[in-house]
Amino acid sequence: MTSQTHDVVIIGAGAAGLMCAIEAARRGKSVILLDHAKKPAEKIRISGGGKCNFTHLKATPKNFLSHNEHFCISALKRFTPWDFLDRVVARGITYFEKTEGQLFCETSAGDIIDMLLDDLEEAGGELYLGVSIEGVTKTPDGFEIDTSNGVLLADKLVMATGGLSIPKMGATGLAYDIARQFGHSITETRAGLVPFTLGGDKLAAIEGLSGVSLNARVTCGKTSFDDGFLFTHRGLSGPSILQISSYWKPGQTLEINLRPDIDMLAHLQAKRKDRSKQTIGTVMAEVLPRRLSERLLEWHKVQPENRMAELSNATLQTLADAVNRWSFMPDGTEGYRTAEVTLGGIDTEGLSSQTLESLKCPGLYFIGECVDVTGWLGGYNFQWAWSSGWAAGQAV
């Protein structure tokens, strides 16, 4: 690294930082991209179970949580999921659509990383890994960045160090610290897209169910998600749970509908009328995984060998509620240790939605997950990283 002044220094070689570096370098800027990790883009590598769910073709602002729901519109419109897909296709990366619009690499997430690194090299951007940032100072002409490899001077500085999730992989709050240093406020941060934990009696009640999965509707307040639902040995996970975790606050109750496609009371009443000799154990196991159906009967002290004809209206109602309206309060979440994202972050009030430039300190930019824009599960978070990185890359 030289001590000459660079046009742009970007800190954080993840999805957003790489995209920004490529775009700025393609515009002829001298670009230095720094990361304290030994390898770039480690979150891309582990994402989507190693297959990187790199975008969602139907991404709209409603798929993002932010204190300003309009903030993400400009960047998402200017660099769309289709724009990223064009790059993937041009590179010859094969991909598949898991659910409608949700795109994954066919082979490996490494394909996306290789594409980004090759694009960066071709554009002339320089990447330095294993570099710690010791401080940033504003100078009359730009920024002085103190690093473990010496001092760097830059006209423009872009912070792309992501959020707090998975500290084991090197996540830090550096972007928030720099934002505060330059007068920005940070909206409350918390773990998102994260499994729930249960304790005490609630955990004991689901003991032995670990690994049981089904499709469920999970509701918190006015928000619901219909998707996979999984019992774990610590609590609950699966896509529907991860999604709702971003909307849940401690003390709130969740309602789980284990068969959103069946009106369970009507179903049980019909069975009692038409199949009066069937046992409730058989009837419940027809609609739920066996281990779960047995446990529900046990929780509600109903003998599985009871015939449908023997069951009272009150018992049918209890069992129907257990299936369609199971309500409980999680003890907490697994936190940043396993969260896919950090909710909250740098307050969008202090940023331009077009360029992601600080309104408080010209020449300073914040992109990607460190900003208070958080996507749902499904490729939305990478799309925000690509779009915000691209938008800043055009402006620096």
Positions in the binding site for ligand FDA (CB under 6 A): 11-17, 35-37, 42-43, 46-48, 52-53, 133, 160-162, 165-166, 170-172, 174, 340-341, 368-369, 379-382, 385
Structure tokens, 275: 């199949």
- Least separation in angstroms between residue 334's CB and ligand FDA is 12
Q: Which pairing describes strands 332-333 and 326-328: parallel, antiparallel, or unpaired? A: unpaired
CB of 112 to ligand FDA, least distance (A): 10
Of 345, 392, 350, nearest to 370 by C-alpha is 345
Q: How many CB atoms lie within 10 A of CB 56?
A: 24
| Residue closest to ligand FDA (Cβ) | 14
CB of 222 to ligand FDA, least distance (A): 24
Cβ nearer to ligand FDA, comparing 235 with 345: 345
Interatomic CA distance for residues 202 and 100, integer angstroms:
35
CA–CA distance, 247 with 196 (Å, rounded to integer): 12
Phi/psi of residue 355, each to 5°? -120, -15
Nearer to ligand FDA, 131 or 284 (CB): 131
Q: Which residue has the tokens 């010859």?
A: 92
Is the Cβ of residue 338 or residue 394 nearer to ligand FDA in the bound state?
338
Pick between residue 16 and residue 216 the one whose CB is nearest to ligand FDA: 16
Q: How many CA atoms lie within 13 A of 144 on its CB side?
A: 7
| Backbone dihedral angles phi then psi of residue 191, each to the nearest 5 degrees | -70, 135
Q: At what angle do helices 81-90 and 380-395 cross, to 10 degrees?
A: 90
Q: Which two tokens stand for residue 233?
A: 């040995």
CB of 119 to ligand FDA, least distance (A): 15
Nearer to ligand FDA, 174 or 391 (CB): 174
Nearer to ligand FDA among residue 162 and residue 238 (C-beta):
162
d(CA 240, CA 350): 33
Min dist CB 138 to ligand FDA, Å, is: 18
CB of 253 to ligand FDA, least distance (A): 27
